[in-house]
Amino acid sequence: MRTNTTRQRALADETAIGTMCNLASPLGAETLGQCGYDFIVLDLQHGENGIDGVQVLMQALSTTPATPLVRVTANSAIQIQRVLDLGAYGVIVPFINNRQEAEEIVKNAFYPPLGSRSWGPTRAMMYAGNDYFAGSSQEIIALPMLESADGLANAKEILEVDGISGCFVGPTDLNISLGHTPDGPLASDTEEGIAEILKITQDLGKIAAIHAISIEDAKKRSEQGFRLITVAADTRLLRLGAQQTLSALRA
Ligand code: 3PY
Ligand code: MG
């Protein structure tokens, strides 16, 4: 089965760098993949992507070395199984708050004996290889998002679930859940919560993932110990590049 190079990198204690696709553009996804990102997260939770179009973005990513990951809209059995059938090599699931919710992810992301995913890897087997049934539990990553006060309080029981590969911290939603606003730097209790989650994840030998809003933020998270980092998103990268070009020419 095709190796999940992003998983491999993160578990080897190297930082995998990716970004998010909020645009429903196959050419956009392909362009980012060709830039050399380790992975690309196709985002169904925010932005304009939907389940019906995400397959084409995964096909576009197939021409690149980037690992295709999908952030689903919610902890939905149908959506997790469908994006995996379409070739996602990992799922990121928003707002996971307790062990039971983490167990649900495992049930839907993996075949028996680990989970109870239904057989039907329509595109996944072409992308991954004919040994998909035997190999997918090893290669696919399942990352619950820890981004609420409950998720923080229950981080250990969530991360201890067998089959959960690690966690993906959503700093902004965590900040909001702890009583702060989405603008400006994160509050000190949010940073303390993030450090706590990181320590629990590292102690379990699992993958610590997080979203970063800037290059500086990503560097800080990598130095802190996070090993899978999304930096910005296609919309933001487009805006930054365009603004930089314009302001240089108009100066
Ligand atoms: C958050 O910061 O809440 C996120 O979900 C980042 O993607
Ligand atoms: Mg979030």
Residues 6-65 have pLDDT tens digits of: 999 999 999 999 999 999 999 999 999 999 999 999 999 999 999 999 999 999 999 999
Taking CA atoms only, the protein residue closest to ligand 1 atom 1 is 170
Whole-number Å distance, alpha carbon 132 to ligand 1 midpoint, is: 31
90 lines ligand 1 (CB under 6 A): no
- Looking at the chain, how many residues does it have? 251
**251 pLDDT above the threshold of 90:** no
With cut-offs at 50, 70 and 90, classify the pLDDT of residue 184.
confident
Strands 16-21, 166-169: pairing kind: unpaired
Nearest ligand 1 atom to alpha carbon 145: 5
Active site residue 180: no
Q: Which of 35, 46, 243, 245 is catalytic?
A: 46
Mean pLDDT of 170-191: 97
Tens of pLDDT, residue by residue over 66-95, are 999 999 999 999 999 999 999 999 999 999
pTM here is: 0.98
**For 5-250, CATH number?**
3.20.20.60
Cβ-in-10-Å burial (0-12, 13-18, 19+) of 70 comes to buried
Query: Are the C-beta atoms of residues 124 and 87 closer than 8 Å to each other?
Result: yes
Q: Is the dihedral of CA 211, 214, 218, 224 positive or negative?
A: negative
* 3-state secondary structure (DSSP) of residue 187: coil
**Residues 6 or more apart whose Cβ sits within 8 Å of residue 55:** 86, 87, 123
Domain boundaries, the chain: 5-250
Tell me what pLDDT residue 64 has.
98
SS3 content of the chain, % helix, strand, coil (to 5): 50, 15, 35
